[in-house]
Amino acid sequence: MLLMKIITRYVYELLESDCNLKKISIPEGYGVIVLNPNENYIEVEKQKMHKQSSSSDGTDEPAGKRERRDKVSKETKKRRDFYEKYRNPQKEKEMMQLFIRENGSPEEHAVYVWDHFIAQAAAENVFFVAHSYGGLAFVEL
């Protein structure tokens, strides 16, 4: 655990010094950290997860955004038992599933971050990493 914290701190220092990115800590309840060189982020409070039908329900949510969310939701339901496993090296057989707060999967979290922060930024070429997952999650946005 200590090694992970040291590596994380080192990576953030490299991103800030070598890549000229700025670390922005979003208060509890927002649930994400955004690194942005231009400070053109928007603070969006993370909403509680609730089930909605994918049919037109009169919301102001764009259809493309809803379709992406629904597609990701369907894909991750199949793999829900397999993502985000943590292995305790001292107890080799013990596995614990860790969920991303208020997101059902790493893919849903990536779509949330994209829709609420990155898509609204002025940047043209964007790459983002959610390093707490412990694996790889690729999402077509």
- Tell me what pLDDT residue 44 has: 44
Rounded Cα distance, 100 and 78, in Å: 17
- Tell me what pLDDT residue 88 has: 45
Residue ranges per structural domain of the chain: 2-45+61-118
Separation in Å, CA 134 to CA 51, 102, 125, 127, 130:
27, 18, 25, 18, 9
- Tell me what pLDDT residue 53 has: 46
Separation in Å, CA 39 to CA 17, 118, 129:
16, 12, 18
Sign, Cα dihedral of 92, 94, 100, 104 = positive
Mean pLDDT by 10 residues, the chain (141 residues): 84 83 59 50 47 52 73 56 43 51 69 76 71 59 64
Choose, from 17, 53, 54, 132, the residue flagged as catalytic. 132
Is 132 an active-site residue?
yes
